[in-house]
Chains A and B, each alone.
Chain A
Amino acid sequence: MLRLIIMRLLAAVGVVLGAAVVTFFATRAMGDPALAIAGGPESQPTPEVLAQIRADYGLDDPLVVQFLAYLGNLLTGDLGTSYRLEVPVTAAIGEQLPSTLLLALGAAVVAVIVSFVLALATAGRPSRKASGVLELAFASTPVFWLGLLLLSLFSYGLGWFPSISTSDPRSLVLPSVTLGLPIGGLLTQVLRTALEEALEQPFVLSARARGLGEAAVRLRHALRHSLIPYLTMSGYVAGALLGGAVITETLFNRQGIGSLLLSSVTTQDLPVVMGIVVLSAAIFALVNLLVDLSYPIIDRRLKEHAA
């Protein structure tokens, strides 16, 4: 088990490092950071200005030197300095992280509640058709449109929730639902399908023949078998949560990593973009590591395979 954890951890670190390397070379190969620092092609900087910038930022060093410097900094936790904000990237990100984590947590809660309630209540029953329509509608709705609809209805129409984010906890509700509902739709599909497959298994028939009630059959037997595909999908959509945060935060004028990323992309503030990308790869790797490690707890048979 310990060996498994270490192996997976190393693999995750490898993926994050790989992500950093790919990001680094992509930015150097496909664009001119000096131009970006000067404010993009529209600012029409003179060659002298560009040369000055290159000298200031060490961009005229050989690529290998730049890369080693970047890698060295990365390993010590230094993600560079923002071109635009002129503060360390880690500081810029750190300032915005709590707000986004709160949003992601809210969305995850919405998604988990929606999926568990819908899937457990409808799997293998006539109501599954209605649930299927609902899941498809949720999963197909763009975050930005759902947000607009919710704002139209609950904020401008009924006035139940604020339209922009404040310290009021109520202002977290609409963004969480906006971000969480499409993911909830996807997760419901996965969980319901898995539950229905499990409910068809002979061991469920055996359990029923033993005199077990429906709730016990679903919760004690079928649910556990459905958790593995559910968790796999959860790990996968953790990424969608981060991506969706960009749009949700823009929509509700929320502070956070998403709005920081968007403003940095627009201004080609590459160190911040790279920093956020590496961070999200790390979070994604961590979530999936936890998912992987949970498999043998759910299914003891997987422990032997892993060993």
Chain B
Amino acid sequence: MSTASDTQTRTAPAPADPRPSAGASAPGSQDSEVLLSVENLRIGFGHDEPVVHNSSFQLRRGQCLAIVGESGSGKSVTARAVIGLAGRRARVEAARLELDGIDLLRLSERRWREVRGNRIGFVLQDALVSLDPLRTVGAEVSEAVGAHHPELTKAQRKQRAIELLGSVGIPDPELRAEQLAHELSGGLRQRALIATALAGDPDVIIADEPTTALDVTVQAQILELFDELKSEGRALLVISHDLAVVGRLADRIAVMRNGRIVEHDDSDRVLFAPEDDYTRMLIDAVPEGRSPALGEVTGPVVARVEAVEKTFASPDGSVRNAVDGVSFELRAGETLGLVGESGSGKTTTARILLGLTAPDAGRVEIDGTAWADLSRGARIAHRRSVQTVYQDTLGSFDPRYSVEKILHEALGVTGLPRSARRARTAQLLDAVGLSRTVLGRRPLDMSGGQRQRVAIARALAPQPRIIVCDEPVSALDVSIQAQVLDLLTELQRETGVAYLFISHDLSVINHVSHRVLVMKSGRVVEHGEVEDVFTRPQHPYTAELVAAIPRLHAPAEIPIRKDTAL
């Protein structure tokens, strides 16, 4: 009922979209039937400025349109408006909002419910929270079946749910139907979520960041599934922040920025001959190939990790090998990329290097001194030589501290006298490209990119030999991501600091690392120069990872092994 109050009104046709979707070269699908037609869509909340201005697009049967933009661009709310779920405070206005002859602007809540699921299916990111975590996936799919086929008995619904789960490529659907979302792997859960969206056999599927929370190999498989849905004749509207991902799927791409569509055309044209500056910037920001700024590594060894092991006892008494015989060296001025999927032991390895977790076996030397050989006090003093930049930067700052206090604290551990701290703080801010006006601000009042710069300044303050970067750019928009990566590379050249760079994103690793370490289930499965590993992967797991990297400028057909890593 909350959505019944969406105020949706028809407006007079406003000046047309700056870049009308007139391009007439979409492969194959251009002549197929228009299913969804949106003209001059405007969305606002309360009395604030509209968040979406005069957006127009069409969706044809068998076609995929991707709306791409960074956070705050208005892409998600556009998708929600199409299914009537923009929220109770939303004002949705358009010259035309039609689905296969149905005027969506005039639907009662009751009629909307017939459209939702039946005519339009909706898939969100991260099935872990988009499927009700307290109910079995079978119950979720059955519920979706029941919403559109109330005539079916409970047993029939369940039967249909199992068929649906099977049809989206879930093995043993009878078994899986009885499980909760968190008991399935990321890929299976996302398939189950797609099954709920298919329950009403809709012609239009809207997918909001459908692969964002997934590991890279699984991402490729889910894209494959969407491709199948498209070839069944459904129309897809995909919302994403990731040009490289949608490039594999979309026939047409609309780039959104600040609520406006700035470029809208066939995907090849948008990706390979972008006309708009913003689109060009987005494409350039996708880390591809090696960073030209990467320096030569000639420095001495600053960290030596030898056969470290760490096991954790689970509450049920079983023992889990988080890290199993990991060894590597790190030289001054070098970046070692650490890749692996969630739970592969990356973070535990980092904590062992930092001296915050003691390994069960093995040895870690920083600058020739092993953590284990130091007394408690000496270990604390030695910590300043390894610093860290966290993914959750906001959580890594004391909420009461201003930027100035954060940096002064970090400088204080080196024994720098108070009088010298002010000048050094200014130097640090310059180094990370922040103006001095941020000194009095708290991290909460800063943007994600600024916060990450403060975190880097703090890590540099004690003049460490090594900085552990734990997913330092995963929480950032792609344009900001590129700036932060450039900053890190530049600082390395100036200071000779070594990075252990943890990321799930292989393009980022490829961009900034000299060498790479691939971890799986606590073990190192591959270790070598980045170019070798990326061009001639030895281990099948690495090969799979590399094959699954979404690329803009690569042949579209990359073989995907469907049966693995589920």
Is there a direct interface between A and B, measured as CB atoms under 8 Å apart in the complex?
yes
Within 8 A of B (CB), among A43-69: none
Contact A305 B134 (CB under 8 A): no
Number of A-B contacts (CB under 8 A): 81
B2 within 8 A of A: yes
Contacts of A210 in B (CB 8 A): 116-117, 122, 143-144, 147, 196-197, 199-200
Q: Which residue of B lies closest to A300 (CB)?
A: B180
**In the complex, B557 has a CB within 8 A of chain A:** no
Instruction: Identify which of B113, B130, B180, B200 contacts A206 (C-beta below 8 A).
Output: B130
Which residue of chain A has its CB nearest to the CB of B116?
A211
B130 interface neighbour in A124, A203, A224, Cβ under 8 Å: A203
Let me know if B193 and A206 touch, CB within 8 A. yes
Q: Give Cα A221 to B129, complex, Å.
A: 12
B3 close to chain A: CB less than 8 A: yes
Which residues of chain A come closer than 8 Å to B85, judged between CB atoms?
Answer: 205, 208-209
Chain B, residues 83-115, CB within 8 Å of chain A (1/0): the string is 101000000000000000000000000000111
Hey, which chain A residues are within 8 Å of B143, CB to CB?
A: 207, 210, 212, 220
A212: chain B residues at CB < 8 Å are 113, 143, 147
Beta-carbon nearest neighbor of A222 in chain B = B132
Cα–Cα, bound, A225→B134 (Å): 8
Residues of B within 8 Å of A, CB-based: how many?
Answer: 37
Question: In the bound complex, how far is the Cα of B316 from the Cα of A305, in angstroms?
Answer: 8
CB distance from B167 to the nearest CB of A (A): 17
Q: A95 at interface (Cβ–Cβ under 8 A)? A: no
Cα-based distance from A220 to B136 in the complex (angstroms)? 13
For A307, give the chain B residue with the smallest CB separation.
Answer: B316
Summarize A's interface: helix, strand, loop or mixed: helix
A298 within 8 A of B: yes
B175 interface residue per 8 A CB criterion: no
Which chain B residues border A214 with CB–CB below 8 Å?
1-2
B10 within 8 A of A: no
- A212-B143 Cα distance, complex, nearest whole Å: 9
Q: How far is the CB of A7 from chain B (nearest CB, A)?
A: 13
Minimal Cβ-Cβ distance residue in B for A304: B316
Q: Does B182 contact A (CB under 8 A)?
A: yes
B540 CB–A CB distance under 8 Å: no
The interface residues of chain B lying within 8 Å CB-to-CB of A206 are 122, 124, 130-132, 193, 196
Interface positions of B from 348 to 392, Cβ below 8 Å from A: none
Q: Does B203 contact A (CB under 8 A)?
A: no
Query: Are A207 and B134 in contact, with the CB atoms below 8 A?
Result: no
- Interface-central residue, A202, A209, A304, by most chain B CB under 10 Å: A209
Q: Are the CB atoms of B131 and A211 closer together than 8 Å?
A: no
Residue of A nearest to B115 (CB): A211
Least CB distance from B459 to A in Å reads 34
Pull 6 A–B residue pairs with CB atoms less than 8 Å apart, ordered by A.
A205-B130, A209-B117, A210-B143, A221-B132, A299-B134, A300-B180
A210-B116, A212-B147, A298-B134 known, 9 other contacts, Cβ within 8 Å: A203-B130, A203-B131, A203-B133, A206-B131, A206-B196, A210-B147, A212-B143, A214-B2, A301-B133
